[in-house]
Amino acid sequence: MELFANQILAGIATGAIYACMALAVVMIYQAIDHLNFAQGEMAMFSTFVSWQLMQWGVPYWGAFVLTVAFSFAAGIAIERLLFKPLAKAPVLTNVAGFIALYAIINSVAGLIWDFTIKQYPTPFGSSPFLGSQLISTHQAGMIGITLLMLLLLFFFFRFTRVGLAMRAAASLPESARLVGINTSWMIALGWGMAAAIGSVAGMMIAPVVFLEPNMMLGVLIYGFAAAVLGGLSSPFGAVMGGFLVGIFENLVGTYIPGVGNELKLPIALALIIIVLVVKPAGLFGRAIVKRV
């Protein structure tokens, strides 16, 4: 029983990271109808930036805040420079753009910081949380930071004018322009926020997976699985999908013999395929019905 509870809690902790990545992917998907394959690399690069800041002597939380701000600005810059010009281009052109971005960020990070694995600090320590063996303080911190961020995002989208404008621009761009919303900047803002959310996920998961240019590859695939499971049209679904995938992954790895760590990733991929076949809109998504 203790093992079970332990696995559930650990699943929620990593699930929180998947939820962040899924949310970042869904935010961009809602804005421009494309999956950002480079979301994980953007998060990885941000994490390296925070590591570099700490190497230069900036304290953890200072580096954390600076990195989130940097990521926000970088997300906007990527949209302005690369994806705004591609806005009316065919799907495949955009896919090529994402893959190029993936490769470029990965290589540049390797060039600057090389490919050796680095330790990454946790501000929460790794002792047992509240004296319980079930969960470590870092895992608890991961869950706490993620929930705080999700709560802030919820309030932002629900109760602020910019949040309302962003939702409007994502759901019906033409109508949004007709009430005077600059939809192009709303998309850029969405990119900035997605990059910032990703950077938080990267900094939270780095102490677990260690810092290196390929650290987010697996995480992003879980993030995709979470987004597909929850439904690409639903930010709430993406977050729930993240937690579900995290728990599912841990339970399968623990209780199904022969799965272990090696087969966890294929299970995430299998999950994507099964959901796409059985319920393409995801658990919380709405099927897109177009009136003709």
Partner 1 sequence: MTAMLNVKDLRAYYGQVQALHGLNFSLNEGSLTTLLGANGAGKTTTLRAICNMVRSTGAIEFDGKPIGTRSTENVVRLGIAHVPQGRGTFTTMTVEENLQLGAITRTDKKNIVADIERMYDHFPKLKERYSQQAGTLSGGEQQMLAVARALMLRPRLMLLDEPSFGLAPLIVRDLFRILGKINREEKVTILVVEQNAQLALELADQAHVIETGRIVMSGNAKDIANNEDVRKSYLGY
Which chain residues interact with partner 1 by CB under 8 A? 161, 164-165, 167-168, 171-172, 174-183
As measured in angstroms, the least distance from the Cβ of 153 to partner 1 is: 17
Minimum separation from the CB atom of position 238 to partner 1 (A): 16
Which residue's CB is nearer to partner 1, number 60 or number 185? 185
Q: Which CB atom, from 169 or from 272, has the smaller least distance to partner 1? A: 169
CA dihedral (158, 62, 23, 251) positive or negative? negative
Closest to partner 1 by CB, 126 vs 182, is: 182
Tell me how far apart the terminal alpha carbons of the chain are, to the nearest angstrom: 54
* Dihedral, 190, 193, 198, 199 alpha carbons, nearest 10: 150
Distance CA 73, CA 93 (A): 24
In whole angstroms, give the CA distance from residue 29 to residue 26: 5
Closest approach of Cβ 84 to partner 1, in Å?
Answer: 14
Q: Which amino acid is at 201?
A: A
Q: Least distance (Å) from partner 1 to the CB of residue 179?
A: 5
Task: Find how far residue 213's CA is from the centre of its chain.
Answer: 16
Q: Shortest CA distance to 248 belongs to which of 286, 273, 222? A: 222
Cα–Cα distance measured from residue 88 to residue 111, given in angstroms and rounded to the nearest whole number: 33
> Residue 181 or residue 244: which is nearer to partner 1 going by CB?
181
Identity of the residue, 195 or 238, whose beta carbon is nearer to partner 1 in the bound complex: 238
Distant-in-sequence, close-in-space partners of 87: CB < 8 Å, separation ≥ 6: 32
Q: Which is nearer to partner 1, 60 or 157 (CB)?
A: 157
Residue 118 exposed, middle or buried by CB count within 10 Å (0-12, 13-18, 19+):
middle
Which string of b and e fits 211-234 if b means at least 16 CB within 10 Å?
bbbebbeebbbbbbbbbbbbbbbb
Backbone angles phi, psi at 84, to 5 degrees: -65, -45
Nearest distance from C-beta of residue 186 to partner 1, angstroms: 10
Which residue, 178 or 278, has its beta carbon nearer to partner 1? 178
Q: CB of 91: closest distance to partner 1 in angstroms?
A: 20
Nearer to partner 1, 22 or 165 (CB): 165
Closest CB 230 distance from partner 1, rounded Å: 16
CB of 234 vs partner 1, minimal distance in Å = 10
Place of tokens 């900094």: 203
